[in-house]
A and B are shown apart, each in its own frame.
Chain A
Amino acid sequence: MSEEERLEKLSREIQRVSLGNRDIMDLLSKIYELLKTILAILELLKPKIDNAFVCADPHTTGDGHLNGAYSEGEQIKDLIESCGYTVTLKRHPVSSGEFLEDLDKRIVHLAGHGGFDGTQVYFCFDDCNLYPADISSQASRPDLLFYAGVCLGGTNDTMANVFISKGTRYYVGFTESIPDWEAKYFDELVYQKWLAEGKDLGVALDEADDDYPELDCWVLWGS
């Protein structure tokens, strides 16, 4: 049935229910219009409520390329999607600008390279590195989780503080270098336990490192 036919049918139904009474017919028509508006608003809001951005293996070639992280992108996308999210996936090459333009999603997951330059944490992209100031200057931020599946080179919290102070609820990072393929399975377990099984994020991380104790270098900041 087309949208026009559906509306026509509904219009006839309103006439039938109102028994020809003009006032009731007007009232029902107004309620119908109001419901249509509410549904349209909900539809507009939906992607903003349950959406996510997965950025996996942003480097094109060379030492920066990570096969495990590339594969992780698809896995994490599927898993988050299965929990009702609309997911944007970007894989190499991803520039810093392309990364920042999707920072407004509810969950942002980054699997790639990062580091610590002695004073602050940075994330590596195909064109350049992003520092806390680059994130800080953005108007947008993920409101639920920023998952930095990268090595932060210690428990430095410069990057975490930026996200948390901008209003991101959780920030996950890794203080040491993590094996590419194991990270993929670890991250998958975390999302499975957190999003699919509804566990607290800290518990999900802790349980995941029960299975992968080599990856017990995770850190979680929360607001």
Chain B
Amino acid sequence: MTEEIEKRATEFAAKKMRLDERRAAPEVGERRSRWSPGLLKRVSDVEVRSPEKRMVVRIEEDTGETVGWRYPDVTVGSQRVNITQEEARRKAEEEVDIPEDATYESTRLLRRGSMGYTYSVRWGHVLDGIPVEGDFLVVKINPETGEVTSVTKNWSVL
């Protein structure tokens, strides 16, 4: 199962980081297994390294589904805000597979004290008009560069 999780994480990271076969294959680094808070699911955070950057991919252990990823070395906050809320949302929709039953909720520019600002774009999970408590998809975006810094998905399959 560990190998399968690492394989899935590597494939996902390679695709996201736009690596192709002509370049060095990404390497698997540290793997941490933990309980996903709130949903009581076991998840693995797998670090995948390419020559240029690192990505941490979160895999749900039971299903093998990729439920999140982040660039740990990308600056979390930014002092400058170069993109609008609409652009942040658009960027999130371009970079992330939004589930069909997701309902867009908000795009917020969060102030992080001396760390600057970050955008948080959020979707909820609504089934037959009923919101699924605790389910969310959150995409964080650096407001200066427009770069997606992290994606987190807590999604129940009902």
Which A residues are closer than 8 A to B by beta carbons? 155, 157, 160, 171, 173, 175, 185, 189, 202-203, 206-207, 210-213, 216-222
Contact = CB atoms under 8 A, between A and B. Distances in A.
Given A202-B77, A210-B150, A213-B136, A189 B37 contact: yes
B80 interface: no
Contacts of B114: 220-222
Interface in B72-114: 72, 76-77, 108, 110-114
A217 B37 CA distance: 18
5 contacts: A210-B140, A216-B120, A219-B111, A222-B113, A222-B114
A220 B136 contact: no
Contacts, number: 57
Contacts of B118: 206
Contacts of A155: 111, 113
A217 B77 CA distance: 13
Contacts of B111: 155, 175, 219
B152 A206 contact: no
A160 B37 contact: no
Interface of B: 36-38, 68, 70, 72, 76-77, 108, 110-115, 118, 120, 122, 136, 138, 140, 149-150, 152
B113 A211 contact: no
A157 B68 contact: no
Given A189-B37, A202-B76, A203-B76, A210 B70 contact: yes
Interface of A, secondary structure class, is mixed
Contact of B110 (A157, A207, A216): A216
A210 B138 CA distance: 8
A172 to B, nearest CB: 8
Contacts of A207: 70, 150
Top 4 closest pairs, chain A to chain B, by CB: A219-B113, A210-B152, A221-B113, A211-B37
A202 B37 CA distance: 19
Contact of B113 (A157, A185, A216): A157
A218 B112 contact: yes
Contacts of A217: 110
Contacts of B72: 203
B76 A206 contact: yes
A155 B109 CA distance: 13
Contacts of A211: 36-38, 152
Given A203-B76, A210-B70, A220 B138 contact: no
B38 A212 contact: yes
A171 B112 CA distance: 11
Given A202-B112, A219-B113, A221-B113, A213 B122 contact: yes
Contacts of B115: 202, 220, 222
B111 to A, nearest CB: 5
A206 B113 contact: no
B37 A213 contact: no
Q: Which one of A171, A219, A222 has the highest number of Cβ atoms from chain B below 10 Å of its Cβ? A: A219
Contacts of B149: 206
A216 B107 CA distance: 13
